[in-house]
Structure 1
Amino acid sequence: MRINYYKTKMVLVKENGMNYKVDDDFQVTAPDKIAKLIYELFDLQGEMQEHLIVICLDTKNKIIAVKTAFVGSLNKSVVHPREVFNFALLSSSASIIVAHNHPSGDVRPSQQDISVTKRLSEVGEVIGIELLDHIIIGNQYDELDVKYLSMREEKYLS
């Protein structure tokens, strides 16, 4: 006879968070809005590692939660749909947008970016949380101009 024994220990963990004020009617309607929001929330200018950020939306495309899901290396971030959609499920999201930076500044998608986008879209379809867009952000930003690429606008996402 085999008995599985599991021991659990509860520990208090400090979670860093902040509130970011947006207008009550702020809706995600365009990738440039998301790119600017990401720059303002996550000081990515000059960052030397890729950061993948998950933006959770309600049924009216209003943001309900935002989280850095993965931090990678200079030119690569390991992304697993399980962690992306776990956060989306816990946030009761209707849909998500993912965004990540390219420290090189070049916003053209890599083959890995394309395959991750496709995989996230497929998983989202299965569990009922639509991937609305995957936005790649360059490393230049000023209030008037954000260097970004929308995978949906470029037809990598249908």
Structure 2
Amino acid sequence: MPAVPFLSHRTVFVTEPGGGERVVITLSGELDMVSGAMVTEVVEMCLRSRPTGVRVDISDLTLMDCGGLGQLHRAARAARLAGAGFTLTGSPQPMVGRVLQLTGTPLGALPAPREDTPSRPAAAPGRWARLLRLSVLTASATTILLAVAETA
């Protein structure tokens, strides 16, 4: 069985001056799709207390991949659906900062993806009959171009 990356968290509830509560979750270790599921669960449990916002500090993360970032987006969606804000804070370590930079994910309010946004635009009718797709395959340092005509 593959080892699960080490990820730990510390969760603190902070009372705001207006009387509401905010959750601060500090993550440390490695955040990927497997370990990130725990983050989503923790956020969902915290949302049961109806906080005004969730702040996730990623300063102590040593590694984060796109799967972990996807889990943070799921947590942001859960917070949005519960009526709470979701914010990424901290000073990310270089590897984590690089993932944020490459994906265009800003620190601050993490926008949750909309449920109704299609993953790609719908094709015009009949377009697939004329489409010629080029796929590049690389095998043993040799590049092979394949042309595949698709039909409707």
Same fold (TM over 0.5): no
**Structure with greater Cα Rg:** 2
- Which protein has the bigger helix share? 2
| RCO comparison, higher one (Cα < 8 Å, 6+) | 1
Q: Tell me the TM-score normalised to structure 2 length.
A: 0.41
- Which protein has the bigger strand share? 2
